[in-house]
Structures are given as structure tokens and as C-alpha cells.
């Protein structure tokens, strides 16, 4: 089946239903990937140090990389649970969820230990000033604890997404966000009777944030009537075969997400050559870009569980129609945001630059980069579509080849060019990343126009269909 241009609106999931799934996912994504980061960055900027703000940006790039690993594990669980849920194998959904959670505990613990003991090496890898290393080591060690909790939370939410429950995660995210903002402000500045911890207060607030959300999610899964039929027993014996099935889906997703997030680490290392102010500008533009892409990120989560449920029933036309609808919705929402940010870039950047050290650079570069953001949106939705159809290795190899074969060498070449204008240099380095996303999208479109992507059903789901 080809991706026909004239897909009828009546095919696939109705727009109204997609938007109903999208709304809570968007709120969740807004809180997890942007809202809290923006408020945290705003609070940190009030400490009046460009060095500390740049340190936060470097840490957030690494944390984003690790969160993408956690997401990869969660998507494997969502796909597996979703396919079983699509054919009403509720006991299999519960078993898969339990094994996924414990597998995540093990992997998350290993990652967090590496982050804790490797904090100094990580900052020195960037070749940043020693002042940033001094600020960064204790911060990253505290964040290692919250990263472990993040892995667990993502595994719990993956189960709820697989059964098309997006409202409860939204509500829990909202409660957690309110708690984080309260604790973040209080611990950074010593307000509300809390100790004044400065930069490290942000990391402690994150630990509190995820601890509370885990407790709320576990209570819901255990005691809600809507999840009772899945019989999720957290302490029941584990099934190694089920864990290997989840891991077989997850590891390519982990690699492809880590590869894309790792591109930001490489980009940060290159831009560090331009100085602390350029790193701070990268941090702000990254946050603005992610905010603009939030609708697409939320819709990408929706398309994963829509496709995974339709896939087990071989509803190919519905899948194609849903991809086109979600692309249209994501592009429209993104366009509105990037236009607003481009026209008022100095205002938005200045909100995080108390000293005015990097506003000119970031505000000048963003309008040029905003045009290329749509390549990122396209690959985001198409790669999620591939994952929903369990074509995770296609995404993995595409991203690895494009990033290692194109982005890394070309961006390094751009850095060697004798360009003295910082805005031009910054745009060329960052823009190379988006051009790579365009190449990825071409591969995914070609894959969807063929038939090979329709052969990835899980064994048990295949037997039932």
C-alpha cells in the first residue's frame, strides 16, 4: 500500500478522537519537556551567573540524552502491550507491563550509577571552563538519583499509554509539576522555610517531583477499576522470555533515540569552542525549539499507540490516514509557535538572560533555524509511526547512518571554516542537524510506500489474528 495523497478524512481515527488523545499528551509533554525546564531555567538565570546557566544547559543536554534512553524502553513496552491490548489479551498486557517495569529498574540503576560516578568526566569532555566543572559535578550527582526515578516512572506510564489512557498521566504530571515548581523555587532561593541550596536545589526538587509521581501512578494502577482486568502484579515472578521480547523491541529504539539526543551532545561540544555565551545561547534555542515541537512530540506518542493497536488487526489504510492527519495537525501547531518566537525572539531569549550576555546571538540565529525545524517535526512523527508498527530497526539504522555518516563529519567541517561572524557559524552548525533530519524523513517515507513494514507482528498477537 502506498501513502496516497488523497486520503479521505473519514478514514482512520477521526480528528476529534485524535485531538482527545492529543490534549492530555500535550499537557504531559508540555510539563515534562518544556514547562518545567523553562521555569527551572528562569529561576537559575536569576542567580545572575552566565556560567551557572551554561552549566545547566550542558547538564540538560546530557539528561535529555538519558531520558531518551528511558523513553526507548517505555516505547518497547507500549508497542508490546498495545499489540496485546489490540487483540484483547489483557493478561498478556499485565505480564508485559510488570516485566517491563523491573527491566527498567535494572537498566535505570546502571545508567544512574554511571552518571553519578562519571559527572566530572562528562563536563571535562565538553572542554568547558573549570568553574563550570565545579558547579556541574554535585548537580549531576544529585540528578543521577532523579534519573533513576525517571526510568521507573516512564515504565509505569508506558503501560497506561498502551491501553489508551492518556488522561491519568496528564493529571499526575500536573500534580507533579506544581510540586516541582514549588520545591524548585523554595530550594533554589530558600523560600517557604526551605534551605537555600542555589543551583543544587533544582536537582533536589527533581527527586521530590518524580518520587511523588511514581507513588501516585502505582496507586492508580493497583486500585483503579479501569486497570483491574490487566491484573498488574508488581511482585509476581518475572518472565525472562517476556523481558527479552520487550528488550528486542526496545534496544533499537534506545539506540536510535540515544543517537539523535547524542547529536545534541556533539553539537554542544562543537559550540563550546565559541565560548560560554554560545553555550548559553544553545541552551535557550534548544528550549525554544522543543517548545515549538511539543505538539508534534505529543502527537508522536499518540501515533505509536494508534498504530500499534491497528497494526495487530492489519488496518493498513487506517494507519496511513492517521499518519497524514497527525502530520497536518503537528505542522499547523508548530508553524504558529515558530512565527511567534521568530518575531519576538529578543523578548523570549531575554527572559533567561539577566545580564544580556547572549541575547543578541540567540535572537539573531533563531529565525533562520526556525525554517529548518519542520524537518525535525517530519522525522519525529514518521519515526514514531515506524515504531508503532514495530519497525524499530529501520529507525535505528537510519538515525545512526545519518548522524554518524552525515551530521558528525559535516558539522565538524563547518567548525573548521574560517567564519568570523558568530551568528553565521552558529546557524551552520545547528542547521546541519536539521538537514540530517530531512534525510531521515526521506528514508521513512520510502519505507512507508512499500510493504515490508507490515511484517512485524509479535508472535502471540499473530496467532490470535
The predicted structure's pLDDT at residue 236: 67
The predicted structure's pLDDT at residue 423: 93
pLDDT at 3 over 60: no
Considering the chain, what is the average pLDDT of its residues? Answer: 83
pLDDT at 165 over 80: no
pTM for this prediction: 0.74
pLDDT top residue among 454 and 202: 202
The predicted structure's pLDDT at residue 167: 80
Over residues 112-137, the pLDDT tens digits come to: 998 888 888 887 777 777 788 888 88
Over residues 206-218, the pLDDT tens digits come to: 999 999 999 998 8
φ/ψ of 309, rounded to 5, equals -75, -40
Instruction: Go through the chain and tell me how many residues it has.
Output: 465
Residues of the chain with pLDDT > 70, as a percent, come to 92
Return the number of other C-beta atoms located less than 10 Å from residue 195's C-beta. 10
Over residues 263-311, the pLDDT tens digits come to: 988 998 899 888 888 988 998 898 888 888 888 888 888 888 788 777 7
Q: Which residues of 235-260 are buried (b: 16+ CB within 10 A; e: fewer)?
A: eeeeeeebbebbbebbbbbbbbbbbb
Amino acid at each position: 500500500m502506498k501513502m496516497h495523497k488523497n486520503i479521505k478524512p473519514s478514514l482512520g481515527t477521526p480528528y476529534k478522537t485524535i485531538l482527545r488523545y492529543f490534549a492530555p499528551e500535550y499537557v504531559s509533554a508540555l510539563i515534562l519537556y518544556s514547562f518545567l525546564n523553562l521555569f527551572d531555567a528562569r529561576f537559575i538565570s536569576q542567580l545572575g551567573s552566565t556560567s551557572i546557566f551554561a552549566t545547566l544547559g550542558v547538564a540538560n543536554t546530557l539528561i535529555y540524552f538519558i531520558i531518551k534512553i528511558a523513553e526507548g524502553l517505555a516505547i518497547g513496552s507500549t508497542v508490546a502491550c498495545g499489540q496485546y491490548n489490540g487483540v484483547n489479551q489483557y493478561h498478556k498486557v499485565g505480564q508485559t507491563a510488570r516485566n517491563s517495569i523491573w527491566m527498567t529498574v535494572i537498566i535505570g540503576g546502571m545508567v544512574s550509577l554511571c552518571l553519578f560516578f562519571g559527572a566530572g568526566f562528562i563536563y571535562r569532555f565538553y572542554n568547558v571552563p573549570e568553574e563550570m566543572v565545579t558547579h556541574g559535578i554535585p548537580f549531576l550527582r544529585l540528578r543521577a538519583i532523579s534519573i533513576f526515578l525517571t526510568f521507573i516512572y516512564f515504565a509505569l506510564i508506558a503501560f497506561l499509554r498502551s491501553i489508551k489512557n492518556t488522561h491519568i498521566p496528564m493529571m499526575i504530571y500536573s500534580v507533579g509539576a506544581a510540586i516541582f515548581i514549588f520545591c524548585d523555587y523554595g530550594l533554589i532561593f530558600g523560600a517557604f522555610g526551605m534551605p537555600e541550596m542555589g543551583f543544587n536545589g533544582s536537582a533536589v526538587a527533581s527527586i521530590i517531583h518524580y518520587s511523588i509521581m511514581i507513588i501516585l501512578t502505582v496507586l492508580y494502577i493497583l486500585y483503579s477499576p479501569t486497570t483491574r482486568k490487566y491484573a498488574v502484579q508488581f511482585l509476581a515472578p518475572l518472565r525472562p522470555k517476556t523481558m527479552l521480547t520487550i528488550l528486542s523491541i526496545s534496544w533499537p529504539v534506545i539506540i536510535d533515540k540515544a543517537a539523535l539526543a547524542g547529536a545534541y551532545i556533539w553539537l554542544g561540544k562543537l559550540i563550546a569552542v565559541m565560548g560560554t555565551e554560545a553555550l548559553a545561547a544553545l541552551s535557550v534555542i534548544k528550549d525554544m525549539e522543543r517548545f515549538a515541537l511539543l505538539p508534534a512530540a505529543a502527537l508522536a506518542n499518540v501515533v505509536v499507540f494508534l498504530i500499534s493497536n491497528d497494526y495487530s488487526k492489519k488496518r493498513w489504510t487506517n494507519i496511513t490516514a492517521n499518519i497524514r492527519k497527525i502530520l497536518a495537525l503537528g505542522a499547523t501547531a508548530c508553524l504558529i509557535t515558530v512565527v511567534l518566537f521568530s518575531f519576538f525572539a529578543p523578548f523570549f531569549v531575554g527572559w533567561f538572560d539577566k545580564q544580556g550576555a547572549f541575547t543578541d546571538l540567540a535572537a539573531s540565529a533563531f529565525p533562520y533555524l526556525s525554517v529548518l525545524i519542520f524537518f525535525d517535526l517530519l522525522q519525529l512523527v514518521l519515526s514514531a509511526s515506524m515504531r508503532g508498527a514495530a519497525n524499530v530497526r529501520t529507525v535505528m539504522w537510519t538515525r545512526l547512518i545519518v548522524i554518524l555518516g552525515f551530521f558528525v563529519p559535516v558539522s565538524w567541517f563547518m567548525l573548521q571554516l574560517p567564519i568570523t561572524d558568530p551568528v553565521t557559524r552558529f546557524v551552520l552548525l545547528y542547521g546541519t542537524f536539521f538537514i540530517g533530519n530531512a534525510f531521515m524523513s526521506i528514508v521513512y517515507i520510502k519505507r512507508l510506500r512499500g510493504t515490508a513494514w507490515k511484517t512485524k507482528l509479535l508472535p502471540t498477537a499473530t496467532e490470535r489474528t
